[in-house]
Amino acid sequence: MIAEIDVDLGAIRTNVERLRALVRPARYAAVVKSNAYGHGLAPVARALEDLADAFCVYGAGEALALRDAGVRAPILIMGPVEPSELPEVLAAGAALTLWDAGSFRREVAQVAHARNTRFPVHAKIDTGVTRLGFEPNAAGGAIAALLADDGLDVRGVYTHLAAAEELESSYTLGQLESFKSALAPVEALLREHSVIRHAAASAASMLFPALRLDLVRAGIATYGIWPSPETRNATGHALQLEPALTWTTQLVVIRDVAEGQSVGYGCTYRTTRPSRIGVIPIGYAEGVPRALSNVGQVAVHGSRAPIVGRVCMNMSFLDVSDVPEAHVGSRVTLVGRDGDAWIDANELATLAGTIGYELIARLPESVPRRYSEAAPAQTSSAIASAKSSVPS
């Protein structure tokens, strides 16, 4: 084993149950883009299909992969789709996101007309991320035009928030007001066509009840990782999340190194005492950020050990001088628990100068994933019976 990722699907189900209970009566869409934030697209979606009202992905390939895996729940594609992919997306019954009234919208409608059907879509409004979306002052007219197009089936309207994770309430609530104002001219049409509204991702779902609307789109929290330290602190004990991912490798070499010896590329680290330097067979190509050079920590035999020297493409160095039990073959935990030592994804990411989202989303699909069985959730039958259909 070079490295392995263990995913506790039962923990993911528990997180979804707790989040669903928190945001009710809003419905729950699990965001599974980017290989389910590194946890594995199809296994996670299959484990959640009886709990999630819908799934959100970024691209057409992810939507088609879910259908190939037997997932039948509604799917929303939130990113761009190539025109050549439209027939397959339509056949899969996945919904597109539209954010302008240009030629792509016409191509979408033409594909639907050619098959004597309507293409499910959600319209996106930009209220402050300055990324994708109709301008608020033009959104009403654009949405009315989409609703009037007999090649389109408008099932949702949504926006995305810029600062909910930082608890910037004035900006976040300002985005909500901008969203409401943009929709005001077409409120009657939206009700007539049963169009749902959604805005909140994980952080806003937890902290801003007014933003839950008809549906929440929870990504990072689904996997038991807090959107930010501020979010965790503000939530207090009202919500507990169960981390689902454990990332491990093993020691393949241990060298006895004299004091003053250089370790690794660039001679950025020299031992300050006689040391035991271990080598693990993964580096930045396998997801270990190079920025962890000389600052990261891992767990070995229940103790923390520092990453020393520069992280290489396929190998990294550890100082295991204070872990006498360490030997070739010892398990090394980069994220997860090892005895009394716990390495949190956000902690490791902070040491690398990034965020937990990036750390786990960049874990290569080539690293083997091992899944524990998703235990039947205590309230799953009640949730299933209470679920109402969510337009895809």
Task: Note the pLDDT tens digit of each residue in 226-249.
Answer: 998 888 888 877 899 999 999 999
What stretch of H or E contains 177?
A: helix 169-183
Closest CA to 344 of 176, 260, 228: 228
pLDDT at 355 over 80: yes
Mean pLDDT of 128-146: 97
Active site residues: 33, 265
H and E: helices and strands count for the chain: 14, 20
Mean pLDDT of 274-301: 98
Show the domains of the chain with their CATH numbers: 9-225+376-386 (3.20.20.10), 245-343 (2.40.37.10)
Q: Residue 373's pLDDT is what? A: 75
Mean pLDDT of 47-59: 98
* Pairing verdict, β 331-338 and 152-158: unpaired
Phi, psi (deg, nearest 5) at residue 114:
-65, -20
Tokens 């104002």 found at: 181
Please provide the average confidence, as pLDDT, over all residues in the chain.
94
DSSP string, 230-242: HHHHHHTTS----
Contact status, residue 32 vs residue 77, Cβ threshold 8 Å: no
Task: Note the pLDDT tens digit of each residue in 180-195.
Answer: 999 999 999 999 999 9
Closest CA to 183 of 130, 131, 142: 142
pTM over 0.75: yes
pLDDT at 364 over 50: yes
Q: Residue 382's pLDDT is what? A: 34
- The alpha helices in 245-374, defined as continuous H runs, are 345-351, 356-361
Q: Which pLDDT band holds residue 383 (cuts at 50, 70, 90)?
A: very low
Q: Residue 216's pLDDT is what? A: 98
Q: Which pLDDT band holds residue 251 (cuts at 50, 70, 90)?
A: very high
